Chain A
Amino acid sequence: MIDLFTATGLVLICTLFLCLYRVIVGPGACNRLIAANIIGTKIILLLVLVGYIYGRNLFLDIALVYVMINFLATLAIAKYLEKGCIC
């Protein structure tokens, strides 16, 4: 099973580079923000998979916290683009 998880992680990293193309090329800040948000949610899956590969369930707690921080960061940047201030 560990081989399956490793292969899944490698494929995820390949799709992550596809998103990185949109971050670099995409016209305007909002296109970049959408791609960056997807990269953040893929990192969560990678954290969980790394936890299973090394057999440590501590990574699940880190993933739970990372979900919330990623969400807050996206909301804050979207609000900054929309209003010009974080308020």
Chain B
Amino acid sequence: MKNVIDWGNPLENLTFLRPPVKYIQEIPVLLKMKGKERIISIIVTAGILFFFWILLSAYFDTFHLVAGLACAMIVAVLSHDLLFTKPVRGGILTFLYFIHYCGWLFIEIWLAGLDVAYRVLHPSLPIDPQVITFETPFSDDIVRTVFANSMTLTPGTITVDVIGSTYTVHALTSEASRDLTEGRSIEKRVHRIFKET
């Protein structure tokens, strides 16, 4: 009589490593860039990587600089299309708008902190939370990310869910939700940075 123990397939038990069928999404197809666009994308990626190398090493002799440049170029050639899925565009004007936007965001972050501090320290806790849903005209992934993160940092709102260009937002007060659906000041500013190029 054979005494065989059936261990089963060991990989069968590791179910947490495999996605359930309903969650498998389509992997977005990477755009193949050619010629000038490809070279610009490689140079920008290598520049970012080389800046980070200098920041972390803080040595300025020849060996470290050459080694860092070589590593940055190799990594950039292999994986530049992971960072920029579209051709890089935009000039100095976009950059200036971005700086202006960062300054505005800095003031908004201050106001948001003071707002939450006032509501937390007030003895009667004056909050009126509500969940709202609204549409935006953005189609690019980077623009959507910038808009969602800005909304989390500005007073009274956090982004809960993003499906396509539909945003679900949790607002701490009714004024904040009214500002989002009627005033739309953040949306106009984000629109001006990314659509003027």
Contact = CB atoms under 8 A, between A and B. Distances in A.
Q: Do A and B come from one complex?
A: yes
Contacts of B23: 83, 85, 87
Contacts of B20: 83-85
A47 to B, nearest CB: 16
Interface string A55-87: 000000100100000000000000010011111
A86 B16 contact: yes
Interface residues of B, number: 8
B56 A83 contact: no
Interface residues on A, range: under 10
B17 interface: yes
Nearest to A80: B16
A80 B16 CA distance: 9
Interface of A: 61, 64, 80, 83-87
Given A80-B16, A84-B20, A85-B20, 10 more contacts: A61-B56, A83-B19, A83-B20, A84-B16, A85-B15, A85-B18, A85-B19, A85-B23, A86-B16, A87-B23
